[in-house]
Amino acid sequence: MRNRLFDIFMMGALISGMALCTAVPTEAKTVTDQAGRRVEIPDRPQRIVSLAPSITEIIFDLGQQQLLQGVTTYSNHPPEALQLPKVGSYVRLDLERIVSLRPDLCIAVKDGNPKSSVDRLQALGVPVYALDPRSVDTVLQAILEIGALLDAEQRAASMVRDMRSRIQQVTRRIAAAGHRPRIFFQIGDAPIVSVGTHTFAHELIVLAGGINVAAGPTAYPRFSREQLLGFAPEVIVISSMDRTAGSVEQTRTEWGRWPNVPAVRDGRIHLVDSDLFDRPSPRLVEGLEQLAGFLHPQIFGGSQ
């Protein structure tokens, strides 16, 4: 009887010991993340939860998706990401679900994920590495940092090299263009919302050789129809987050009522996938190439 009790006790100790071993990472190190926080993270994280769609994209591009245990609701690229467990949207994280996935590292974005959620995760014993991508350059930096975290430095470096050369290719060809078209980049229809200076879309517009008529200190300024007609944009890009097919078409038809707007007159209204312009992901370069095609069709040949 005594022996059996002892056996049971030992079994229990063994099981709990095993559970502890898998939960506690082998080696840990303290690093400073892109947001300037000092965090202790495992040397080789094995269970990652991505707290933003852009981070999910980067991890897939680095070929480290097998480490991903969970992603946010709108992580829709690549399509395989849709299969992963969801942990709420990036502004409203479901802490309970994150903890239940037993991550040894969460990767967050400073501007999107609420600071309170990040602090609580940290307090619950889940290390959080925060990125702070504010410009195309810092996105490239973020890719290198994720590469370093996930033991994929080389792949990250070659991705960044490739992106840089594609950006340079665009800017080099743009340099020849004499005229910088005025562009209205519309991200919302009711109310009409555009992009100010401190956005990725603005940076891409400038890189693609255009002038953002909505430039200004407000990140997402709203405009009345009157103001829009006053802007007289030569190119209009509609990047609606509302993906229902009808609504984007409706925005286009709405513009059709104002034929004296140069962009409407010349038929230079384009629809784009907003994910290419508002996510700090590698696909920003795709967005840049699309914009350059819209703004300077004579250089890039054709409308695309």
Q: Which of 96, 137, 162, 249 contacts other proteins by CB under 8 A?
A: 96
107 to 146, contacts with other proteins by CB under 8 A?
Answer: 111, 114, 116, 120, 123-125
Q: Does 241 bind other proteins (CB under 8 A)?
A: no
Main-chain dihedrals φ then ψ at residue 69, nearest 5 degrees: -100, -20
Q: Which of 97, 134, 155, 173 contacts other proteins by CB under 8 A?
A: 97
Q: Based on CB atoms, which residue is closest to other proteins, 135 or 218?
A: 218
Q: Based on CB atoms, which residue is closest to other proteins, 101 or 177?
A: 101
Smallest separation, CB 16 to other proteins (Å):
5
Smallest separation, CB 214 to other proteins (Å):
12
What amino acid is encoded at 231 in this protein? F
Q: Cβ(224)–Cβ(289) under 8 Å?
A: no
Place of tokens 């891409």: 204
68 to 87, contacts with other proteins by CB under 8 A?
Answer: 73, 86
Smallest separation, CB 96 to other proteins (Å):
4
For residue 124, count CB atoms less than 10 angstroms from its CB and return exposed for 0-12, middle for 13-18, buried for 19 or more. exposed
Smallest separation, CB 82 to other proteins (Å):
12
Per CB under 8 A, the segment of 17-25, 34-42, 173-181, 276-284 that binds other proteins is 17-25
Per CB under 8 A, the segment of 2-10, 92-100, 151-159, 263-271 that binds other proteins is 92-100
164 to 183, contacts with other proteins by CB under 8 A?
Answer: none
Q: Which of 25, 39, 76, 94 contacts other proteins by CB under 8 A?
A: 94
Smallest separation, CB 113 to other proteins (Å):
11
Smallest separation, CB 240 to other proteins (Å):
18
Distance, in Å, from the CA atom of 174 to the CA atom of 207, rounded to the nearest integer, reads: 8
Q: Based on CB atoms, which residue is closest to other proteins, 20 or 245?
A: 20
Q: Which of 8, 10, 19, 190 contacts other proteins by CB under 8 A?
A: 19
Per CB under 8 A, the segment of 14-22, 156-164, 181-189, 282-290 that binds other proteins is 14-22
Write out the residues near other proteins by the rule CB under 8 A.
Answer: 12, 15-16, 19-20, 23, 73, 86, 88-89, 91-92, 94-97, 99-100, 102, 111, 114, 116, 120, 123-125, 218-222
